[in-house]
Structure 1
């Protein structure tokens, strides 16, 4: 009898542990990435949409996931005429590389705000990046927000008007780092 009860207890606890793991589907309609790129004088801002993605959690904490970024959706919202230039080979070469990816490789949940580490792939070049993300559970899913995520464009072979490569640019130089504000909404 004791063995039977022990066996039932193990089965129930194992089932409960598995029930704690959840995969959420990223809502491409409600999620957005905002970017901000600076120049010596001024800068530009814009948006990029997600194509798809998932977030995995265990006991309410993010443990994995990733998303595909639709580079064709990239827009320069303060100067729409620049959108075409950003999509050409000087920058993201969107006809050749229509998507970018971010895959979570590690999550440090030891602090109040989790630190997410993952591999960002742009133009077939991959670089590990880390950033804090505020994660909130909702009635039907979760939301995650990471503000000011720094990305160095040189890691992805985007050298156009970089003072690191061209010394005579003066005030036409574009900073090597740009920032992303990532807002993800996901549902079960």
Structure 2
């Protein structure tokens, strides 16, 4: 009888371990996500804008991070430089032409481990109707139950550098830098828990 109990207990432990290691689909949390991009302005300053209101999903397997996928949509309606006139100018046809191209999107195509807690996430970035491959350098901050959300949560930071002219957004280059630095920080919660 004791042997049977041990076998049942071992089976439960093994099942629990498998459940935790299975891929989890996470929903990006717009309230804890910042997609910041910065540029140089005539050599005098380095303004920053945030693309808020992100909508996206991340599938992550702790056992095999290379199988991770991420898709995100960033509406230009959420663009915020903290300067309303600059927001309007960036949304105009001089730059993003938000009336014609209202969203920026990213869809991963490949994830490569790059050391402990590090990943290279390559994907298709679409801006201004133009799609180009971009690689994000990702740092996994933490995976585990969120103390307030009561749901499995993942958090990470990412950086990349792109040339805006590659996406047909080349106004005022080189006085306003072609190079755009991107910095992302985000949390995402288990999508199945959010539906409960």
Name the TM-score, length of structure 2 as normaliser.
0.77
CA contact (8 A) 1:50 1:67 kept: no
Please name the residue that 1:29 is paired with: 31
Q: Secondary structure at the match of 2:87?
A: helix
> Which of residues 134, 158, 161 is equivalent to 1:146?
158
Deviation at 1:22, TM superposition (A): 1.1
- Structure with the larger strand share: 1
CA contact (8 A) 1:52 1:68 kept: yes
- CA RMSD in angstroms comes to 2.3
Deviation at 1:17, TM superposition (A): 7.9
Deviation at 1:19, TM superposition (A): 6.2
CA contact (8 A) 1:145 1:183 kept: yes
Please name the residue that 1:123 is paired with: 128
Once the two structures are superposed, residues 2-32 of structure 1 have per-residue CA deviations (whole angstroms, 9 ceiling, x without a partner) of xxxxxxx9xx99xx48961111111112111
> Aligned in 2, Cα 1:131/1:111: closer, same or farther, shift over 3 Å?
same
Please list, as runs of the form range in 1=range in 2, the aligned pairs for 1:82-121 lying within 5 A after superposition.
Answer: 82-112=86-116, 113-121=118-126
- Structure with the larger helix share: 2
Q: Secondary structure at the match of 1:158?
A: coil
**In the alignment, structure 1 residue 69 sits paired with structure 2 residue 80:** no
Once the two structures are superposed, residues 34-89 of structure 1 have per-residue CA deviations (whole angstroms, 9 ceiling, x without a partner) of 11111232231121114310011123536112100111111113x44211100000
Structure 2 residue runs of 5 or longer lacking an equivalent are: 1-10, 146-151, 191-196
> Which of residues 184, 187, 194 is equivalent to 1:185?
187
Structure 1 residue runs of 5 or longer lacking an equivalent are: 1-8, 164-172
